[in-house]
C-alpha cells in the first residue's frame, strides 16, 4: 500500500470516528431534553438549535423531528420548540389566508414581503434554504425565498391544490393530476378522473416512495417520482394514516360503522380489519395515533389499543385518547381558508 493510500485510509477512519462521536453527542443532547433539571433541559435545547443552524446535512433536524414524537412529553415539547427555532432561522413568520400571504420579520416587526389574493401559504426547509410556497385559491403554485420573497419557480396553468407533503405538492387541472417537487417544480402530470373526499390535508400523505391520495372511489397509491399507479383500494376512507409498510384507514361506511383497516403499502391488500363493538363511528385515524406497536382508535364511548400487526385489541379504556396538534406542525402547517385548526388531519373530528 502506498503512503498516499495509507493517509487516505487514516483520514477516512478519522472522519468515521468523528461522525460517530457527533451522532453520540446529538443523542446525548436529545436525552437531556427530558432531564429532571430544568437548566439542563434548557442548555440541551439551546445547543441542539445551535448545532442545527450550522448543520447543512439536515441530520439534526431529522433527529429532532423523530424526537418530537417521543412518548416523553418533555422531550416531545422541547424537540418541537427546537424545530421551530431551526425552521425560522431567519426569523420570518409566514401566514396565508383570504387576505393573501404575508411574511413578517419577527425581529423588527415589519412586513418583509406580501402576495395579494386569497391563498394557502406554508414553509419548508429545502436544500436551497427556507422556502415559502404560495397556492392561490384560483389555482397554481409558486415557490419563493422565505427571507426575500424572490421567486424560485412557478407552475404553469392553474391546477387546484389537492394537498402537499414534506417533499411534494399535488394539484388537479383539466382531468389530470399535477405533481410538483418542492425543490424543482413540475415533476409529472397524469390523466386521472378523480373525486376528492375532502380537498384539504386529509386527502394526501406520503410514505417512502409513494404518495397516497384519498378519493371517493377509494385510496390511490402513486409512485412519487413518476405518477404511476401502484394500486387502488375500492374501499372509501374517511381518513387514513401512513407508516412504513402499512396504510391504516377509517372505512367510510355505515354498515357496519366504526371500521379500521390495515393495508399492505406495497400491494394495497387488506392485512386485517377491526370493527368497533359499539354502533358509533371511529374517530379519525391519524399518525399521532400510532404509538410503538399500537394503533389507538377512539369511539364516542371508549378508546381502544389495537396491535398493529394483528388488529387484536390489547386493551380498552374510558379515557379519550385522541391525537393533539404537534408543535412544529401547529406553527408550520398551512392555513386553509374556510377550515378551522380543529378540522385538519392532526386532530380528531
SS3 for the chain is: CCHHHHHHHHHHHHHHHHHHHHHHHHHHHHHHCCCCCHHHHHHHHHHHHHHHHCCCCCHHHHHHHHHCCCCCHHHHHHHHHHHHHHHCCCCEEEECCCCCEEEEECCCCEEEEEECCCEEEEEEEECCEEEEEEEECCCCCEEEECCCCCEEEECCCCCEEEEECCCEEEEEECCEEEEEECCCEEEEEEECCCCECCCCCCCEEEECCEEEEEECCEEEEEECCCCCEEEECCCCEEEEEEECCEEEEEECCCCCCCEEEEEECCCCCEEEEEECCCCCCCCCCCHHHEECCEEEEECCCCEEEEECCCCCEEEEECCCCCCCCCHHHHHHCCCCCCCCHHHCCCCCC
Rounded Cα–Cα distance for residues 197 and 174 (Å): 18
Please report the pLDDT score of residue 193 as a whole number: 86
Binning pLDDT at 50, 70 and 90, where does residue 159 land? Answer: very high
Q: Calculate mean pLDDT across residues 163-189.
A: 93
Tell me whether residue 39 is in a domain. yes
Q: Phi and psi of 201, rounded to 5°?
A: -60, -10
Q: Calculate mean pLDDT across residues 293-304.
A: 81
Domain finish residue from 55, 87, 119: 87
Q: Calculate mean pLDDT across residues 315-343.
A: 43
Please report the pLDDT score of residue 52 as a whole number: 81
Q: Calculate mean pLDDT across residues 151-167.
A: 92
Tell me whether residue 133 is in a domain. no
Residue 18 has pLDDT above 60, yes or no: no
**Are 158 and 173 spatial neighbours (Cβ–Cβ below 8 Å)?**
yes
Domain finish residue from 57, 87, 117: 87
Rounded Cα–Cα distance for residues 169 and 204 (Å): 9
Domain finish residue from 69, 87, 105: 87
Domain residues for 302? 235-349
Residue 21 has pLDDT above 80, yes or no: no
Q: Which of 39-43, 146-150, 280-284 has the lowest mean pLDDT?
A: 280-284
Please report the pLDDT score of residue 56 as a whole number: 66
Please report the pLDDT score of residue 258 as a whole number: 77
Q: Calculate mean pLDDT across residues 99-103.
A: 91
CA proximity to 126, closest of 146, 148, 155: 146
Q: Calculate mean pLDDT across residues 307-331.
A: 66
Tell me whether residue 270 is in a domain. yes
Residue 237 has pLDDT above 60, yes or no: yes
Furthest CA-CA distance within the chain: 76
Please report the pLDDT score of residue 261 as a whole number: 93
Beta bridge partners of residue 123, listed in sequence order: 132
Tell me whether residue 21 is in a domain. yes
Please report the pLDDT score of residue 142 as a whole number: 96
Beta bridge partners of residue 313, listed in sequence order: 306
Please report the pLDDT score of residue 197 as a whole number: 57
- pTM over cut 0.75: no
Residue 199 has pLDDT above 90, yes or no: no
Tell me whether residue 330 is in a domain. yes
- The CATH number of residue 78's host domain is 1.25.10
Residue 176 has pLDDT above 90, yes or no: yes
**Are 186 and 178 spatial neighbours (Cβ–Cβ below 8 Å)?**
yes
Q: Which of 76-85, 105-114, 229-238, 298-307 has the lowest mean pLDDT?
A: 76-85
Tell me whether residue 281 is in a domain. yes
Rounded Cα–Cα distance for residues 349 and 334 (Å): 18
- The CATH number of residue 329's host domain is 2.40.10.480
Tell me whether residue 310 is in a domain. yes
Beta carbons within 8 Å of 284's beta carbon, 6+ residues apart: 202, 238, 239, 250, 345, 347, 348, 349
Number of domains in the chain: 2
Residue 340 has pLDDT above 50, yes or no: no
Tell me whether residue 22 is in a domain. yes
Amino acid at each position: 500500500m502506498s503512503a498516499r493510500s495509507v493517509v487516505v485510509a487514516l483520514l477516512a477512519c478519522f472522519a468515521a470516528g468523528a461522525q460517530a462521536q457527533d451522532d453520540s453527542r446529538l443523542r446525548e443532547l436529545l436525552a437531556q431534553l427530558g432531564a429532571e433539571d430544568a437548566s439542563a433541559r434548557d442548555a440541551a435545547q439551546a445547543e441542539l438549535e445551535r448545532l442545527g443552524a450550522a448543520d447543512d446535512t439536515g441530520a439534526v433536524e431529522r433527529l429532532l423531528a423523530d424526537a418530537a414524537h417521543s412518548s416523553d412529553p418533555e422531550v416531545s415539547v422541547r424537540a418541537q420548540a427546537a424545530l421551530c427555532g431551526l425552521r425560522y432561522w431567519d426569523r420570518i413568520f409566514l401566514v396565508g389566508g383570504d387576505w393573501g400571504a404575508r411574511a413578517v420579520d419577527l425581529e423588527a416587526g415589519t412586513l418583509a414581503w406580501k402576495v395579494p389574493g386569497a391563498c394557502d401559504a406554508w414553509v419548508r426547509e429545502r436544500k436551497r434554504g427556507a422556502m415559502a410556497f404560495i397556492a392561490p385559491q384560483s389555482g397554481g403554485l409558486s415557490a419563493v425565498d422565505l427571507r426575500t420573497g424572490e421567486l424560485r419557480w412557478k407552475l404553469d396553468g392553474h391546477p387546484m391544490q389537492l394537498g402537499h407533503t414534506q417533499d411534494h405538492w399535488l394539484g388537479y387541472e383539466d382531468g389530470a393530476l399535477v405533481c410538483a417537487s418542492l425543490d424543482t417544480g413540475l415533476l409529472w402530470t397524469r390523466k386521472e378522473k378523480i373525486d376528492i373526499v375532502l380537498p384539504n390535508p386529509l386527502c394526501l400523505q406520503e410514505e417512502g416512495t409513494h404518495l397516497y391520495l384519498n378519493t371517493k372511489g377509494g385510496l390511490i397509491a402513486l409512485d412519487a417520482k413518476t405518477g404511476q399507479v401502484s394500486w387502488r383500494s375500492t374501499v372509501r376512507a374517511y381518513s387514513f394514516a401512513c407508516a412504513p409498510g402499512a396504510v391504516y384507514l377509517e372505512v367510510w361506511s355505515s354498515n357496519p360503522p366504526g371500521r379500521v383497516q390495515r393495508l399492505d403499502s406495497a400491494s394495497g391488500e387488506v392485512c386485517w380489519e377491526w370493527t368497533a363493538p359499539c354502533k358509533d363511528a371511529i374517530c379519525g385515524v391519524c399518525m399521532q395515533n400510532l404509538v410503538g406497536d399500537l394503533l389507538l382508535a377512539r369511539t364516542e364511548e371508549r378508546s381502544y389499543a389495537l396491535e398493529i400487526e394483528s388488529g387484536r385489541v390489547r386493551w380498552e379504556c374510558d379515557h379519550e385518547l385522541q391525537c393533539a396538534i404537534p408543535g412544529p406542525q401547529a406553527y408550520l402547517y398551512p392555513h386553509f381558508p374556510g377550515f378551522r385548526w380543529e378540522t385538519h388531519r392532526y386532530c380528531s373530528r
